[in-house]
A and B are shown apart, each in its own frame.
Chain A
Amino acid sequence: MAEALLLVVLLPALGALINGTRAFTNPHGPKNKTVTNAVALGATALSAIVATIGAVIPFVRSGTPFEHAYYTWIPAGIGHAGNFIASFAVDFAFRIDPLSCTMLMIVTWVGFLIHVYATGYMSHEKGYTRFFTYLNLFMFMMLLLVLGANYIVMFVGWEGVGLCSYLLIGFYYDKNFAADAGKKAFITNRIGDFGFILGIFLMFNTFGSATYSKVFALAATGGAAQYGGIATAICLLLFVGACGKSAQLPLYVWLPDAMAGPTPVSALIHAATMVTAGVYMVVRSNVLFRMAPDAMLVVAIVGALTAIFAASIGLAQNDIKKVLAYSTVSQLGYMFLAAGVGAFTAAIFHVMTHAFFKACLFLGAGSVIHGCGGEQDMRKMGGLRKYMPRTHWTMLVATIAIAGIPPLAGFFSKDEILANAYPHHFPIWILGVVTAGLTAFYMFRLYFMTFHGSYRGAEVEGIEESEPAHGGHNLIPDRRHLLDGDEHSDKAHGHHTHAHDPHESPWSMTGVLAILAVLSIVGGWVGIPAVLGGSHPTAFQRWLSPVLLPIGGEAYEFHEASVALEWTLMLISVAVAAFGIFLAWRFYKRDPLWSTPKRFAETFAPVHRLLENKYFVDELYNATVVGGTLALSRAMWWFDRWIVDGIVNAVRHLTVVLFGHGSWIFDRYIVDGAVNGVGWSARGGSMMFRRVQSGFVQNYALIMGGGVVLVAVVYLFMKP
């Protein structure tokens, strides 16, 4: 198993190395795409197969978690943990348990599917090999993240996926919006990592280790009585990291901008895998979180607020990828809501179903964009179901799934989250239900605007530009890039001329969509609750239960409600979703002129502007955090030049004035004498400095001579 895990991780790294070398050594020349595909897809496919056969199946058979340290990575030394000493060493180690198995399967297989899709989507790109290098590198880092047996290896993957995200967002690096978005993603994540790494240090101070098995064993044995307070601090710090990586309030701002990257990247990194790393980390740390109810509450509240906040922005976006981006932020909020109310399995369940339907939605959107010649504005789409039937059907399935309609995948995970939230914290449940309604609405709004009505691509030139105006060094990329001539759309289809009708995408893309659509249907069936003929705990909960260690001897209990209550909650969430769908149908399908939403937008113009401009959060951050840091930097730079260095120069001037007048004597008798007297300067060595500026040598000798005199004085002075 140890070798298999190593292989799983190293195969994508090898793929990145090979393709990376090819791209690096021949940056401008053409590269054989078949080779690139064989390497990139081969590495990912093999990795997925080895993961399944070599790791997951043996684990399921044996049922025993597996942990293996390959070598000591950072032997930092003996440190203090409480009143004890412990060897603060970090192993390069992997761990297989139900949680990492689940993530492993999602990452490898969904990752592989998206690789396949990308061969079609990116086929016209210049940086094809570079793209797949980054994608394989991402797989490598993501696998480190989920397989690591301690927080440090996780952190390597954690920052590593951030790097790949940076590189892929900035894939069209010569476009300013992409460059801005990449940098913004990296730095925002670094702010989160600031908290994460401090949490790790606090963990070392308390438990003397950052290895899961050691930390959790010690914590679970000691219980909340011993570690409750410190666990709260650790968990809150870790959660700061999760907020960065998983785009939660207030650090979510980078994710919508990350859509500047190619669409397969949005699907893989910014929907299905990387952004769920924060959820994975919180669930991984469940032993600590369960001892810290205050931290849990914070997680739940941040999650719930993010969910509804992002969903409300999603209502008013017209860029298809932006809608999905805010939807992702919102769904991630849902996952944290779940973890915060103690439903850790529900959180991972939603990670999984979300990976299926959101990947399907993003890739479907990519197919739409591909088919419409690079267009991302939904107002310029419409009626696409006629032109792209395969894309249409798969996206419809995924839309139903995310809306939470049974028996599709999203229903089961969402229902489990809400059922857990209700008894725990009523206001949070309310937020969750409202978000569910909003989600159903904006997703079907997207669906109807894109696929129904008639194609509006030809009539658009006159449409009023309602995108907010951006000035100056704005960090928000938007669809302006299309007008500037987006590289992708240029490459794919000449210009985004509307002379051609939209067309269906190749099978390499729609085939992947079909697989993901099927998964969006059946993916939730592993978590069917007892009232619907499943079991309590559900199959998925039983699968993950070994990760939920008993604390202080008290086992983790899965929440169980009465049958009546469970039916009621379920019906409410379905009814709310259905109502959202109905409204979307009423606004965007039955009335092709969309007069109701337009009227709303006019009646509540300030609210609409607020939503459309994403609550002006980017503007706020630019004015405060970014502007503040730059202003402080400029002030420091001024201080450095005029005060710190000013003093140094003043001292020099003073010295020159005080001693300058005597220096000619020094020059004539001592310096020249010394220079002339030293043998080598007159003979062989003199060649060396003969033509060097004489004043220069004098200066040097003056200084040197001064030093010698000073030393002599000091010596005589101190002699007893």
Chain B
Amino acid sequence: MGILNVITYIPLIGALVILFFVNRSNARMIRVLATATAVLDFLVSLWLWPNFDRAATGTKMWQFRETYDWIPSLGVKYDFGIDGISLLLILLTTFMGIIAVVSSYTAIHHREKEYYTLLLMLQTGMIGTFCALDFFLFYVFWEIMLVPMYFIIGIWGGARKLYAAIKFFLYTLAGSVLMLLSILALYFFNDGGIGFLNIKGLGNPGTFSVLQFHEIGHLIPPSLQFWIFLGFFFGFAIKVPMFPFHTWLPDAHVEAPTAGSIILAAVLLKMGTYGFVRFALPILPSATKQLLVPIVVLSLIGIVYGALVSLVQKDMKKLVAYSSVSHLGFVMLGMFALNPMGLRGSVLQMINHGISTGALFLLVGIIYERRHTRLIADYGGLAKQMPMYAALFLVAALSSMGLPALNGFIGEFTILLGAANSTAFGTMAYAVIAAIGIVLGAAYLLWLYQRVFWGPLDNPENANVPDVNRRELGLMLALIALMLWIGIYPKPLFDVLEKPVDYIVQKVEPTYFDKQPLTYPASPAATTEHREVAEK
């Protein structure tokens, strides 16, 4: 049993222990066990960080590999392995797992046993998805992940929980069926061909190996690549969610309990972007470029549209949900810039969005627990009554709007740099439009902040709301520490991403690096006095 399996199944084991060995009336014990499981999982996953080889390339880039035969007749393998991209996403998942569990202590009052069981099962599904290097296995985890989330929204959700849960489930399922078509098409192309389309296969032994598809992807005729890509596109774009497939998201977020929203925003949405970056781009380079413009246009619409719609939301949670549409637009834009800056920024922004938006959902949950309303109009002047909460919220908002020296800036800057420099785009116009999103980002968040925290404290119901407690403070400080770390010293994250990103760039744009490096002359001497202005 390798490390990846350990990390994947610790939450499941924890869930089963809670399920079978703890009395449902012992809510305290359930919480302790769930927390212990999440913390243990995070600590174990941290072991990956020092032991990950950042310089490895080629097949060695996929580390902690574990391969077992699963269904030999179909060539299905149980194949685990991660590169830097998966590594970061796994760490994000295990970290946010703790946040989600601990944030639920007072938010969930009934059926704690089922709740924490599902939350932990969900974590197994998510980590497995990031580890899987076999498409069949990936699909299994991808679908498994849906189930607990469906119940979390549907049982512990708000007033319209059933509507939201079913919408979430059906929408995602519809997309994943199309994705499955594409997976099967890849399988048959690698194997014997696709009969009814008269497409000859390569005659290789049947396999669902992602790495094998990476190798043969460029051999797929462009017309077939196009259709396969389209299948992936629907599967992933719904999950991201890209405009116009995003409407399940605000409903799911608004109805989900706080922890559900945190996990949904922090990790589940990244499944879509992860799918693009892991499968669609490296396997289907020609289709990637063929469909580049429509996808980028949808991303840009998402950025601006999401921000505009956020601006006029009356419900805080819905506002944050729509801001996700905007942020994920940035992630998609950077990815399709098809250069190292764009892709690194894109992956980094997946992490950043998880932290910042997770923090915002946590904060909205904190005030909701106290006042049972998320309507912005019910607040005003909270900074006076809850100064600590106000300060924490400000940091989260600033991180989300990309203030330099916090994490959001690193991602957005790198993405926009990539977009502005992209040879695939061939124009700076996309970066210009996307940059509008940054202005609007400041607008909707600061306006929200003003309406909730500034101004007179004129609603008497807010007069005695207690400030954050130690548990909430601890959670927020942990998130803020990450925001600062990534904002000030993101190099360790960039280091992890370097090889996988260059690998993808080379798959899609093989000649990208084939140019002479630029050299800089010495600075010319200054005018009146002949001082050397040479660079030190």
Could you tell me if A644 and B528 are in contact, using CB atoms closer than 8 angstroms?
no
Partner of A214, one of B181, B311, B404, B520: B520
A718→B405 CA distance, assembly (Å):
52
Query: Which chain B residues border A174 with CB–CB below 8 Å?
Result: 381, 383-384, 454-457
Give bound CA distance, A205 to B381, whole Å.
45
Given the known A-B contacts A201-B431, A700-B150, are A24 and B341 also in contact in the complex, defined by CB atoms under 8 Å? no
Q: Is the interface of B mostly helix, strand, loop or mixed?
A: helix
With known contacts A27-B387, A77-B339, A78-B513, A553–B524 Cβ distance under 8 A: yes
- For residue B3, CB closer than 8 A to chain A, the reply is no
Q: Does B107 contact A (CB under 8 A)?
A: no
Scan B489-510; emit 1 where CB is below 8 A from any A CB, else 0. Answer: 1110011001001100000000
Interface set, chain B 193-210, CB cutoff 8 A to A: 193-196, 201
Q: Is B309 touching A636 in the complex (CB atoms < 8 A)?
A: yes
Within B503-536, the residues touching A (CB, 8 Å) are 512-513, 515-518, 520-529, 531-533, 535-536
Count how many chain A residues have C-beta atoms less than 8 Å from C-beta atoms of the other chain: 109
Interface SS majority for chain A: helix
Determine how close the nearest CB of chain B comes to the CB of A36; give it in whole angstroms: 16
**Nearest CB of chain B from residue A3's CB, rounded to whole Å:** 15
Bound-state CA distance A85–B511 (Å) is: 12
**Which of B150, B247, B340 sits near A77, CB closer than 8 Å?**
B340
- Given A183, A186, A720, which contacts B193 in the complex, CB threshold below 8 Å? A720
Interface residue ranges of A379-421 to B (CB < 8 Å): none
- Any A CB within 8 A of the CB of B19: yes
- Across the interface, B529 reaches (CB within 8 A) one of A221, A545, A634, A688, namely A545
B522 partner residues in chain A, CB cutoff 8 A: 217
B410 touching A74 by the CB < 8 A rule?
yes
Chain A residues with Cβ below 8 Å from B421 are 79-80, 88, 201, 204-205
A73-B177 in contact (CB<8A): no
Question: Which of A262-270, A429-437, A703-711 makes up part of the contact surface?
Answer: A703-711
The answer to whether A186 and B345 touch across the interface, beta carbons within 8 angstroms, is: no
Give per-residue flags for B418-462: 1 if the beta carbon is below 8 A from chain A beta carbons, else 0.
101101000010011001101110110011001001111100000
Select the residue from A194, A633, A692 with max chain B CB neighbours within 10 A.
Answer: A633
Whether A84 lies near B516 (C-beta < 8 A) is yes
Asked whether B489 lies within 8 Å of A720 as measured between CB atoms, the reply is no
Q: Residues of B contacting A220 with CB < 8 Å?
A: 523-524
Q: Tell me the smallest distance from the CB of A109 to a CB of chain B, in Å.
A: 25
Binds A, one of B84-92, B165-173, B355-363, B371-379: B165-173
Q: Which residue of A205, A548, A645 contacts B527 across the interface (Cβ within 8 Å)?
A: A548
- 8 Å CB contact of A194 from B305, B438, B527: B438
1/0 contact string of A210-248 vs chain B (CB within 8 Å): 000110111011000000000000000000000000000
Do A88 and B446 touch across chains, with their CB atoms under 8 A apart? no
- Known contacts A545-B528, A718-B185; decide if A632 and B308 are in contact (CB<8 Å): yes
Residue with the highest number of chain B CB atoms closer than 10 Å, among A547, A550, A555, A636? A636
- Taking CB atoms, residues of chain B closer than 8 Å to A703 are 166, 169-170, 173
* Complex interface bits, A635-672 against B, C-beta within 8 A gives 1, otherwise 0: 01100100011001000100000000000000000000
Is A202 close to B, CB under 8 A? yes
Nearest B-chain residue to A144, judged by Cβ: B405
- A97 in contact with B533 (CB, 8 Å): yes
B388 within 8 A of A: yes
Query: Is B188 engaged at the interface, CB distance under 8 Å to the other chain?
Result: yes
Please, how many angstroms separate the alpha-carbon atoms of A717 and B495 in the complex? 45
Asked if B155 CB lies within 8 Å of chain A CBs, one says yes
User: Which among A60-68, A316-324, A370-378, A464-472 touches the partner chain?
Assistant: A60-68
Q: Which 7 A-B pairs have the closest CB atoms?
A: A77-B340, A27-B387, A720-B195, A201-B420, A179-B454, A84-B518, A546-B526
Please, could you name 23 A-B residue pairs with CB atoms under 8 Å apart, sorted by A? A67-B535, A77-B501, A78-B502, A78-B512, A83-B515, A84-B515, A85-B518, A152-B413, A159-B409, A160-B405, A163-B398, A174-B381, A174-B455, A190-B442, A197-B435, A198-B432, A549-B533, A640-B305, A700-B147, A700-B151, A711-B180, A720-B188, A720-B195
